[in-house]
Structure 1
């Protein structure tokens, strides 16, 4: 089964990292959903939730402020000025 390697970080700490099936985040262009095999993308985050569905099926939700989301080779990095688990 394909999976994503996800890191959600704030400017001063790591919020969450692990393996996931899916991630959904709010960008300045609207919501984006990322699944394994997604094309490379760099997006600007808007203030809102970042929802990560883990391999086990749990949903991790973080509130994130301004930042960016990067996807390449099944690796997703979310970097926000401020972020924390909800």
Structure 2
């Protein structure tokens, strides 16, 4: 005797899986785009707010500037500044 599953039940299961995947994808995109800001915050970067805003702008620019934000966040060193002079 085969177990009969109502097709509507399978539709709801598929919809639940789809909604879960969409929510996880959105969270992942936001998390990835905040990585340069988190780096800048950890290094006490003087332009961390600009890096944060530019990370959100990169979402609308198809992520073109995101690698440059990562580099920008890493350029500032906590004890040395930009490397041009010694920060006291």
TM-score (norm 1): 0.25
> Does 1 or 2 have the higher relative contact order (CA < 8 Å, sep 6+)?
1
Q: Which has the higher helix share?
A: 2
Q: Which has the higher strand share?
A: 1
Task: Work out which of the two has the higher radius of gyration on C-alpha atoms and give 1 or 2.
Answer: 2
